[in-house]
Amino acid sequence: MLTIRRAPSRRAGFTLIELVIAMVLMSLVGGAIVKLLLRQQRFYNSTSDLIQTRQQIRQAAAMLPSDLRGISSIGGDIFSMSDSALEFRSVFGSSVVCVNAGGTLSTVPRNLASRATMTNWATTPVVGDSLVVYNNGATLAVAGQGWLFYRITAVTPVTTNAANGCPNATGLTRAGDITAANPSLQLGLTPAAPNTIAVGAAIRFFRHVRYRIYRETDNQWYLGFYNCLFGRVPVCNVTQPIAGPFQPYATNGTSGVQFAYYDVAGAVTANPLQVARISLVVRGQSTGLVNLSGGGGTVFHDSLRIEVGLRNRQ
């Protein structure tokens, strides 16, 4: 009798060689993916550092010129100046005299129905601020005219059509101009303003400020700012960083924030009364290594130069 035997069936699966090949391929693909992710992460971090560096440069370049343009060097606005710091009167507002009552001056409200702009300020004046007001003098003689400096000792909002504010009788306001949200400010001054200061005289409000490059506790260099208010304790507040970090201060012309001063002839000057133009150079550097090409990382540097012409100078 013929007997037929079935061959044993082969079990499904992978051989050792197939598993090794699959693992090698997976390792290659996984390594490529990880390498790509690391490169993307490095590119993202480098781009963020680059953007942050340029943003800080632009921030410093946007803040300083607006303050510098209001300086009147011939009027003594600059207190001290160097290649790393500048101390001066910073104008933050202007107005006109509406009433001069017994040595106190009242301002015109900011918003008028006539849409004329006679008062404008970045911040409301407070006790301790200073102002200059134009004095027409008692006669038409030029010798009796000029700007007078005062310190503000009291600020009283006048919210009605009162004589000590800016009444409609002056012709500078109309009915409804003065409200609680739109007051006239009565300013007490030291010394008292003379009666020769007439209605309509120009007023400029200012504070004593200082910009400088300095090293913070994190060992980085920043553009710092402080202001001074008489009667405040302390009079001058602590320097606060407003932009940075920048390149360190150096005497070889590579400082992160560098000032230079020129007279009307374009020559460098050290006389605050002769300054007609201020040159500002801001140099930034990244806080970490920037690597955009995939090669070795380097510290990113960028700079910006701004020339600011001062008012009342040719």
Residue finishing a domain among 206, 229, 254: 206
The answer for residues whose C-beta is within 8 angstroms of residue 254's C-beta and 6 or more apart is 247, 283
| Judgement on whether residues 135 and 57 belong to the same structural domain of the protein | no
- Cross-strand bridge partners of residue 173: none
Tell me: do 273 and 303 sit in the same domain.
Answer: yes
217 in a structural domain: no
Identify the pLDDT of residue 271: 94
Query: In this structure, are 94 and 60 located in the same domain?
Result: no
State the Cα torsion 197-228-185-194 to the nearest 10°. -20
Given this model, what pLDDT does residue 144 score?
59
Distances (CA, A) of 293 to 37, 133, 297: 15, 59, 9
- Are both 78 and 147 inside the same structural domain? no
| Domain annotation covers residue 300 | yes
Q: Kindly report the three-state secondary structure assignment for every residue of 27-58.
A: HHHHHHHHHHHHHHHHHHHHHHHHHHHHHHHH
pLDDT < 50 regions, the chain: 142
Residues 79, 120, single domain; the answer is: no
The DSSP call for residue 7 is: P
Residues 42-84: tens digit of each pLDDT = 777 777 777 888 888 888 888 888 888 888 888 889 999 999 9
Handedness of CA 171, 173, 175, 179 (dihedral sign): negative
What is the C-alpha separation between 168 and 201, in angstroms, rounded?
17
On whether both 115 and 129 belong to a single domain, the answer is yes
Domain that holds residue 102: 89-206
Q: At a CB cut-off of 8 Å and minimum separation 6, what does 92 contact? A: 121, 122, 123, 205, 206, 207
Residue 257 lies in a domain: yes
Q: DSSP code of 170?
A: G
Of 177, 206, 235, the last residue of a domain is 206
Looking at residue 4, its pLDDT comes to 61
Closest by alpha carbon to 211, among 245, 259, 173? 259
The total number of structural domains in the chain stands at: 2
Residues 112, 151 within the same domain: yes
